[in-house]
Each structure stands twice: as C-alpha cells, then as structure tokens.
Amino acid sequence: MAWAGWGAGPAGAGSAGGPSRWFLVLLLGASGVVTVVLLLDRQWLPAGVAAAGTAYFGLRAAGRLGRRGGDR
C-alpha cells in the first residue's frame, strides 16, 4: 500500500502504512547532525529539541515506537 504522505489526516497517513525504514534512518542521521552542530554552537535548548527528534526517529527506525516501526 502506498504512503499517503505527511498531513494526510487520520484516514490517509495512518491507514496507508507510514514512512519507509530508510527514510526514518535518513531523518535519524540528519537530526543527529543538527544536534551535534547545535551542541558545538552551545545552543542548549534547540540542541535538546533536536536530540529529542533524534531519539524519536531512532525509536521509529528500530521498530520500538509506532504500529509497524517503518516499512521493512
């Protein structure tokens, strides 16, 4: 089943699957880079928010969060 995309509403994105595991891993890496850059710049609060995003995408990619944890 094809993914409906972000913001498709309750009848769209949730029922059509979700982002692929590779997409989640890509987001995990990107948010990790942003976290490191913000930490190096001593922007503590934004770095904390980015770290939370990194943790979220890590859990989603690992299959520990969400219904299916990304398509396999």
Q: pLDDT by residue for the chain (72 residues), tens digit each?
A: 555 556 555 555 555 567 888 999 999 999 999 999 999 999 999 999 999 999 999 999 998 887 654 454
Examine residue 6 and state whether it is found in any structural domain, yes or no: no
Residue that has been written with the tokens 């890496």 in this structure: 29
The count of domains in the chain is 1
Q: Domain limits at 50?
A: 21-62
How many Å apart are CA 1 and CA 3, to the nearest integer? 7
Output the CA–CA distances (angstroms, integers) from residue 69 to 9, 11, 48, in the order listed. Answer: 19, 19, 23
Examine residue 4 and state whether it is found in any structural domain, yes or no: no
Examine residue 5 and state whether it is found in any structural domain, yes or no: no
Examine residue 12 and state whether it is found in any structural domain, yes or no: no
Q: What is the CA radius of gyration of the chain?
A: 14
The model's pTM is 0.69
Q: Which residues are bridge partners to 20 per DSSP?
A: 71
What are the tokens at 57? 């995408």
